[in-house]
Every structure is written in C-alpha cells, then in structure tokens.
Amino acid sequence: MTRPAHVPEDLVVDFDTLGDLKIDEMHARARGWRADKGSVVWTDHNGGYWVVLGAAEFRRGLIETETFNSASRGIKLVDIEDREVLVPIELDGPEHTQYRRVLNPFFAPRRMRVLEEQVRKVARDLLAGIAPKGRCDVVTEYARPLASSMFLSLVDWPLEDREILERLVSLQVNGMPGKSPEENQRIQTDALHELAAYCERQITSRRENPRDDLTTQLINATVDGEPIPDSRLVAGIMPTLVAGGLDTTQSVTSQTIRLFAEDPSRQDYLREDGTRLHGVVEEILRYAAPVGPLRAAIQDTELAGVSIKSGDRLHFMSQLANRDPAEFDDPAELHLDRESNRHLSFGLGPHRCIGAALGRVVLAVAIEEFHLAIPTYHLVHSDSQLGAVWSMRSVIVEWDPDRSPSLTQTA
C-alpha cells in the first residue's frame, strides 16, 4: 500500500506482526524504537498503521473515544470483507453500552468465584496426568486445555469440541504466519464462517432444549426491546467471546511457566508464601500482555507530537505500553514484588476487557495448581510468535517426578 504523505520517514519502522518475530526479539526492537523515535511509530505492513508504545498515549487513546473509535475501521489488523460487526468490540457509544449491559452479568466478579472451583477442578485433572511424566509441553497439555475448558464451561458448549474451536480461533484471529495478506484474508474468512456455523448449531440446539447458560440467555436477551438477530449472535458476539477467551489466557499462562522455568528462583518466591500469588499475577499480566486494541482516528489530532489524520489506524499495544519507563520502574524486568502496578493488559475505557475478572481467576488458579502439583522445573525448549495475539508455540519443561512439590497454599 502507499504510505500516507503525513507519515514522516524517520518514524517508519520495519514491523510485520504476522512475520516470524519472537516475543523477546520484539521487545528488544521496541526498546530501540522508543529510544530512537519516541512513543508513536509507523509500520507499512498489514495495511499500514501507527504503533503506539507509550503508556500516556495509550491512556488517552482508549479513553478519548470522540477522537479514536472502534467502529469506523474495525479492530482487525488484516480485515475480512463483508463480515458481521464484532460485538461488542466494534460498537461505540450507546449501542455498545447496551450490549455490555447484556454481557456484563456473565463476567461479574462474584460469578467468577463460582467458576474458580471449576477451573481448579480442570487444572487438577490435567495435572494429575502430567505430574508423573516429569516433562510436558505446557502449551498443549496444560494452558490451552485449561483456558478452553473454562470458556466452554462458561458458554456450556461440549468440552469434546475443544480442539475444533481452538483451530478455528487461531486461524480466525491470527491467520497463518508467513502467508501473504491476501491468503490470510481468505484463511481468516473461511475460519470465521466455519466458527459462525458452529455457533449457529449451538443456538439451534438451545432453541430446542433451553438450558440455564450464557448461550440460552443470549438467545433470550433483548436490546432496545428486540431480540438480538441470529446473524449477529453467531457471527458477531460469539466469535468475539471465543476469540477473547481462548488464546489470551492460554498465552499468559504459558508465558508464566516459561519465565518461571528460566529462573527457578521465581518458583521459590511463590512457593515460599502462597499469599504472594495475587501480586505475581498482576506483574505477569504486565510483563506478558498478549494483545493490544486497534483503533481508528475519527478526527485529526496529535499524539506524542506526531500528527495523526482522521482515518489513520492505531495499534495501542498494551504489550509495549506496559514497558514504558515513564510509567513503570525498571520495566524490562519481571519484579514479582512490584507494588503499584497500573498495567494496561486489559485495556482501559469503555472497551475494557469484559473477561478481565475471568482471566485473572484462570491465571491465578493455573499458576497456583501447577506449583502445587509440580516440583522445581527447568526449561528445555520454548518458542513464541507474534500475531494479533502474541503467544507461545511451545514451552517444554522438565522436573524430577519423584520429588514432591511444596507450596504454601493461599487461604
């Protein structure tokens, strides 16, 4: 594509989020951009957009919705033509508020306390199979099945469909790394259609046999006194919830175990005092944020002294804003005892991640149960990828299955 004329040459960086960059390499690069170019840079890749690295700019971008919105150009880096609006993330204003009010109760903090027991049970079942082996791939054997099972419990879809949904979400969110933008458009379109068809089957089954679950309640919900159209349910709301719930939580859990395996003193820190878990979760969320929101400017403005024109897209990268030295002391280091931690991993403003409380619960239980079941472990191999959701491809760890783990449990 042609770069817009108002983009200064010296702010352009070489960044293809669908390329073969690893998470650590990306952070090293971003440190260089921040030092050399500032808080807002431009990439020509994937349609061309501003990459926002600064925490102050992030705050402004997500709270000033009259300048930066979600609806006008959508939130997908590689877009698909002729698709349903993703709901609620691609709505703004009063319509957005109405959909949030329908969805909010399912994700309310007090409901998470009930779900916590379910997460714990799934985690323990998985770990009972893993612990005696002395080795596992955390991504495929623990983090992914745990995150997916939680989401499937929330919507009450069959647990045995887990792998089908994981594949579709991965394709729909990230496409296939290494493919051309045109190929990825087709891959993502096909995956979204297949996902919508799956959701439609769930809706049909609930119409025939209503149950006390989120799926049935969404069918019965009204917005402006009207039921939500089926097309919006199956291709707008449900794919958004699936995509939000599966890849993100899985990524942060996998990144945690990798960080702890690289430096077992981090395992010791948690094992010494289980009440540290809450602070550990928040610091991990800061350090290992997997995703950041995309917006479009709807009027001309300036951001960190950079001229932004109406219609420009901006990627407000929580992953990078969380490492802004203006906001966080020693940001490139994981400080598990960090006290004040206003990380930006769940976004800010009206589009704050609706699953934040769920994400925190899954992560806390995932980390706690892993250390209750597995003794000191070491990293054998790990591999990561960027994309719309940064994630680990694999995290292989090893431990002595004859040793017993020790963790002072919370409460």
Q: Are 354 and 237 in contact (CB under 8 A)?
A: no
Question: How does 30-49 read in b/e, with b if 16+ C-beta sit within 10 Å?
Answer: bbebbeebbbbbbbbbbebb
Q: Decide if residue 362 touches other proteins (CB under 8 A).
A: no
Q: Decide if residue 113 touches other proteins (CB under 8 A).
A: no
Token pair recorded at residue 231: 């097309």
What is d(CA 314, CA 299) in angstroms, rounded to the nearest whole number?
13
Single out the residue of 334, 333, 336 nearest to residue 274, CA to CA.
336
Near other proteins by CB under 8 A: residue from 3, 104, 163, 330: 104
Residues 6+ apart with CB under 8 A from 342: 327
Token pair recorded at residue 76: 């997908």
Judged by beta carbon, residue 73 or residue 343, the one nearer other proteins is 343
Q: Decide if residue 295 touches other proteins (CB under 8 A).
A: no
Neighbours of 105 (CB within 10 A): 11
Shortest gap between Cβ of 368 and other proteins (angstroms)?
15
Near other proteins by CB under 8 A: residue from 149, 343, 362, 377: 343
Q: Decide if residue 101 touches other proteins (CB under 8 A).
A: yes
Question: Is-cis flag, bond preceding 88, omega within 30?
Answer: yes
Beta pairing partners, 318: none
Q: Are strands 391-399 and 49-52 parallel, antiparallel or unpaired?
A: unpaired
Judged by beta carbon, residue 97 or residue 310, the one nearer other proteins is 97
Neighbours of 333 (CB within 10 A): 11
Q: Decide if residue 108 touches other proteins (CB under 8 A).
A: yes
Q: Which of the stretches 30-38, 105-113, 189-197, 211-219 binds other proteins when contact is defined by CB under 8 A?
A: 105-113
Q: Which of the stretches 126-134, 209-217, 238-246, 346-354 binds other proteins when contact is defined by CB under 8 A?
A: 346-354
Near other proteins by CB under 8 A: residue from 32, 93, 105, 129: 105
Q: Decide if residue 324 touches other proteins (CB under 8 A).
A: no
Judged by beta carbon, residue 126 or residue 288, the one nearer other proteins is 288
Beta strands in 240-288 (DSSP E): none
Answer positive or negative: Cα dihedral of 90, 245, 293, 23: negative
Q: Which of the stretches 141-149, 230-238, 306-314, 343-351 binds other proteins when contact is defined by CB under 8 A?
A: 343-351
Shortest gap between Cβ of 287 and other proteins (angstroms)?
16
Near other proteins by CB under 8 A: residue from 2, 81, 110, 225: 110
Q: Are strands 313-316 and 49-52 parallel, antiparallel or unpaired?
A: parallel
Q: Binding residues for other proteins, how many (CB under 8 A)?
A: 26
Give the chain's end-to-end CA distance (angstroms, integer): 56
Q: How many CA atoms lie within 13 A of 180 on its CB side?
A: 2
Judged by beta carbon, residue 131 or residue 344, the one nearer other proteins is 344
For residues 71-100, which are near other proteins according to CB under 8 A?
Answer: 100
Q: Decide if residue 348 touches other proteins (CB under 8 A).
A: yes
Near other proteins by CB under 8 A: residue from 38, 349, 401, 405: 349
Near other proteins by CB under 8 A: residue from 4, 8, 93, 109: 109
What residues make contact with other proteins under the rule CB under 8 A?
Answer: 63, 100-101, 104-105, 107-111, 278, 282, 339-344, 346, 348-350, 352, 354, 356-357
